[in-house]
Structures are given as structure tokens and as C-alpha cells.
Amino acid sequence: MVDPDLQIAGIVEKGKLLTLTTQEAIRLKVAEHEVKDLGELYRKFQLEGIAIENRPIPWTEKVAELMPDQKTIFNPTLLWFLLGLALIFLEFVVPGVILVFFGIGAWAAAVTTYFGLTVSFQSQLLVFAVASILLLVVLRKWIKGKFYGHVGNVQDQTKNLDEFTGQSVVVLEDVIPNKMDGAVEYKGARWRADSDEHIKNGEMAIITGVDGIILKVRKKEEG
């Protein structure tokens, strides 16, 4: 039935799968009878009155059903969903409030593909690109201000962060060159920080610039 190499004269050509209606299956003796429900099946074979036992599905089969088969692995909906998930996780590794929008764009493509709105890869790619860029343009500045250092009634979210160059900050976690684990406090907000010199927790530092959401700082000279 599912072997494309099988050829039956007058029924199926080589290279095509064999599909039969119920009447065709009975005519070709692939099936013997047609019944509309179990009750008719019992009557046909004189099985009325017998006890029917419904056995539960073994847990091993339930687990096996969760394992993706080849068809599921290459399901475009699943692939777009996994791509979106990966991009959103990458946002935490390479912060910048950019990848998260492409992750949401991939999920948008997954949704439209699931509902059959985008069948071809080109249409899925178009949804992904349009949704990602639109979200990036419309929401990036607002989300960046909300979650990466702006404090309500203290810092104007419309100001360019470069205007804060030269301001003093307190080091919350050691700032070590070429490591992105450092943190400072500026105007009541916690910022990630980087420096060309080691600045210890509790010391004062000076903002020398901004790289995305990371403050570039140097050690504040005493006196």
C-alpha cells in the first residue's frame, strides 16, 4: 500500500502509492466487508452479547508516542517553533534585545504554518521576516528601556545613553576585562558593565561609553 516501487497493472503505476476506496478494496479482495460501526460488526459475525474488555494503553506505548518520528522531525511547524525557542534563548547569551524579536517572528511563522496559512517555504520565510523586523522596529526601544536599566521618574527613556558618559557608578560585581559578568548601579538601576581594568565590588567607577546595554567603565581615581 505504501511502497512506491510496487506496480499492479490497471490499479497503480510504479512510483505512486496505492490508495483505494472501500468499494475498490472489496472489489479487489483487499477487504471482505464494509460495516458502519462496531454493533454492525458484532451482528455480522454473531458476536452479540459477548463481554468486551477495553485494555488500557501500556505506559511504554504512551512514551513511544512522544518520540518524534521522521515525519514529525521535518514538520515545518515544529522546526519554526524550535528555531524561535533557540533564538530567544540566545538572547540571554548575546543580549541586545534583537534576537528575541526574530524568535517571536519564527513563532509567528510556526502559527501560520500550523493553521495552513503559509504552505510554501517562501511564504513562511516572508512571515518570519516581516514579523521579526516589524517587532524589532516598533518594540525594541520600549522593551530595552523597560528591562535594561531605565528607572521610572528618574531616567528619561528618550535620552541617548551616551549622554551619561562621565557619570559615577558603584560596582556591584567585579568588573573583569573581557568578561561580561560585571555589574554596576547607576541611578538605582543595575547595569551590566565591562572595563579594560579590574574594578572590584564596592569601588567607584566612571562611565566611558555604552555598548548596546553594557556600560563601558573605568576605575575612578581617588581624590
Check: pTM over 0.85? Answer yes or no: no
CB 180 within 8 A of CB 194: yes
Closest by Cα among 137, 90, 84, 88 to 114 = 84
Q: What is the mean pLDDT of residues 100-123?
A: 91
**Bridge partners of 189?**
186
Question: Which one is the CATH code of 161-219: 3.40.50.11750, 3.40.50.740, 2.40.50.140, 1.10.3470.10?
Answer: 2.40.50.140
Which pLDDT score, from 0 to 100, does residue 124 have? 93
pLDDT digits (tens, 9 = 90+) for 5-24: 777 777 777 777 777 888 88
150: pLDDT strictly greater than 50: no
**Bridge partners of 217?**
207
60: pLDDT strictly greater than 80: no
Q: For the chain, give every residue range classified as CATH 2.40.50.140.
A: 161-219
Closest by Cα among 177, 169, 176, 180 to 203 = 169
204: pLDDT strictly greater than 70: yes
The whole-angstrom separation of Cα 105 and Cα 9 is 50
Which position has the grid cell 535620552? 159
